């Protein structure tokens, strides 16, 4: 019986290498010290499974040579360097190791927080490097009784909060996608008002990097903060707008910042490095011996299981081959995931239940529709932490009920799917179908009949059905130099209407605020796919 070949592309802890070497049916090729050309051209064609880190890009060239690979394990959390779509098209399963570095990231956050409060690195350098004993230059502040604002209360954010409570800090959390009791049960305050976070003494962010969270803190948000605020980012580069952060640090509006991650890395020439009120580290979130041990061991275990075809833990793409599905099914699964993602963006609130309904032959795949809907809904808040394997488990862990039902086909469509998302704030229903096997369409939102292609940047405008509204909406959008690529309108019998407007360009807060201020406006939201 031939052995399973696992190619290790980047350096991992010896715990994983040792495990791979011990397995009699595994042939390990450790190519971490080889040139990328030799790795790609000589070793990848032999591989059944590859283990990568951030030093190897899983791009088109990589995939061209990885002709026999069935799975790729990213030894870490982020998969920014992995072409997941390209892997999916080739039937390659992509997995990551999402929780092995949780404690390391939590403790690094606390290290930056303490270093900022006491300006520890600068006092250290002044004594050790400059040999200057000037105690009076290094008055810091205490964490006790300071208000800490936590943006994102998942595995890492919640643990930061617990440790901050041990320092007798006053903790307030913002995360619209969780049950507030997950915060209040820990004797912390939960808020849905982002301005309450901006009023804190120290702010730390722990969210995935998504369209919603990129530049989540910019000039407008910093302007609302109290003078002398401290900001921490040990999550992902780009969550704080770096230009705005630089301005705030130079002006003194921001007293200190603790930064582990940057927009572009390595950041050896970054302007933050010239400031004396920033503590910086070179993306050390996972850099503990314990974390590296766990990451390596878990990556090796996943590679072995995938190579043997046993299971695909933490799979980030479809965990079965397209050839196993009838041709008409996959577009419906993709559409259901898009509808789930849209519904979560529109509602932006803690989720209580996800209900999936299917009519027609697609009803035979209702279980899979439920999984894809759950992935779509939770991707809005969890990003690449959610996948097809763990989606319903994560939903159950968060107290989200996932309901799947097949109903008689009475809609007039050969196949029809619908998602009903119930949150603490509202409920939304989106229905859709697929024409000619691959033309995806949203055909209804709540009680409004529409025909919308689910793609691009979309504004959802619900209004009183009065004359002139369409012109007002178009005028505001044009004022912001946005081109309307599609405009779809649905009306009900209660004197209300909904417009779905697809635009080219970024939909800003100002656009939404101006639309909401229109006299006929009932509600405005936006989403992107």
Give catalytic residues, as residue numbers. Answer: 236, 265, 283
Of all helices (H) and strands (E), which one includes residue 288? none
- Both tokens assigned to 271: 């302007």
Instruction: Tell me how far the alpha carbon of residue 377 is from its chain's centroid.
Output: 12
The DSSP code for 240 is B
- Picking from 329, 343, 521, the residue whose alpha carbon sits closest to that of residue 427 is 343
Tell me the C-alpha distance between 240 and 128, whole Å.
Answer: 32
Judge contact between 320 and 91, C-beta under 8 A.
no
SS3 486: strand
Tell me the C-alpha distance between 225 and 203, whole Å.
Answer: 10
The DSSP code for 437 is T
| Helix ranges, 90-198 (H) | 102-118, 120-128, 155-166, 181-184, 194-198
The DSSP code for 167 is T
Q: Residue 415: how many CA atoms within 13 Å on its side-chain side? A: 24
Tell me the C-alpha distance between 349 and 190, whole Å.
Answer: 13
Judge contact between 5 and 27, C-beta under 8 A.
yes
């Amino acid at each position: 019986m031939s052995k399973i070949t696992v190619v290790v592309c980047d350096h991992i802890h010896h715990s994983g290498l040792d495990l791979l070497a011990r397995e009699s049916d595994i042939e390990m090729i450790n190519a971490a010290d080889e040139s990328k050309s030799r790795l790609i051209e000589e070793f990848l064609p032999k591989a059944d499974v590859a283990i990568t880190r951030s030093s190897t890009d899983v791009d088109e060239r990589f995939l061209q040579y990885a002709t026999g690979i069935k799975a790729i394990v990213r030894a870490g959390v982020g998969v920014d360097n992995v072409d997941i779509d390209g892997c999916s098209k080739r039937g390659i399963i992509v997995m990551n190791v999402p929780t092995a570095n949780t404690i390391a990231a939590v403790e690094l956050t606390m290290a930056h927080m303490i270093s900022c409060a006491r300006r520890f690195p600068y006092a250290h350098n002044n004594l050790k490097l400059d040999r200057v004993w000037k105690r009076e230059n290094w008055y810091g502040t205490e964490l006790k009784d300071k208000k800490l604002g936590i943006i994102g209360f998942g595995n890492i954010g919640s643990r930061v909060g617990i440790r901050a409570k041990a320092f007798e800090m006053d903790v307030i959390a913002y995360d619209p996608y969780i049950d507030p009791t997950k915060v209040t049960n820990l004797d912390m305050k939960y808020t849905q008002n982002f301005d309450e976070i901006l009023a804190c003494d120290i702010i730390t962010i722990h969210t995935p990097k998504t369209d919603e969270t990129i530049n989540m803190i910019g000039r407008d948000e910093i302007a609302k903060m109290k003078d002398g605020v401290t900001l921490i980012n040990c999550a992902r580069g780009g969550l704080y707008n770096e230009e705005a952060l630089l301005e705030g640090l130079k002006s003194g509006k921001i007293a200190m910042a603790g930064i582990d991650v940057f927009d572009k890395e390595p950041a050896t020439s970054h302007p933050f490095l010239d400031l004396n009120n920033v503590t910086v580290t070179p993306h050390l979130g996972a850099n503990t011996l314990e974390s590296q041990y766990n990451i390596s061991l878990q990556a090796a275990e996943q590679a072995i299981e995938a190579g043997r075809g046993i299971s695909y833990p933490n799979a980030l793409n479809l965990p079965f081959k397209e050839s196993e599905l009838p041709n008409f099914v996959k577009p419906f699964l993709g559409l259901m995931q898009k509808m789930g993602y849209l519904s979560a963006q529109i509602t932006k609130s803690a989720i209580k239940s996800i209900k999936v309904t299917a009519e027609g032959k697609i009803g035979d795949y209702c279980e899979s529709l439920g999984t894809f809907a759950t992935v779509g809904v939770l991707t809005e808040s969890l990003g690449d932490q959610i996948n097809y394997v763990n989606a319903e488990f994560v939903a159950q862990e968060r107290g989200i009920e996932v309901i799947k039902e097949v109903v008689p086909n009475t809609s007039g469509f050969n196949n029809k799917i619908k998602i009903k998302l119930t949150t603490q704030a509202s409920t939304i229903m989106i229905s859709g179908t697929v024409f000619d096997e691959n033309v995806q369409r949203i055909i209804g939102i709540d009680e409004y009949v529409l025909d919308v292609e689910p793609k691009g940047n979309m504004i959802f405008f619900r209004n009183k059905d009065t004359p002139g509204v369409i012109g007002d909406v178009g005028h505001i959008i044009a004022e912001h130099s946005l081109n309307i690529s599609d405009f779809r309108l649905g009306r009900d019998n209660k004197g209300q209407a909904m417009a779905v407007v697809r635009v080219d360009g970024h939909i800003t807060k100002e656009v939404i605020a101006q639309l909401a201020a229109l006299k006929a406006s009932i509600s405005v939201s936006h989403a992107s796919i």
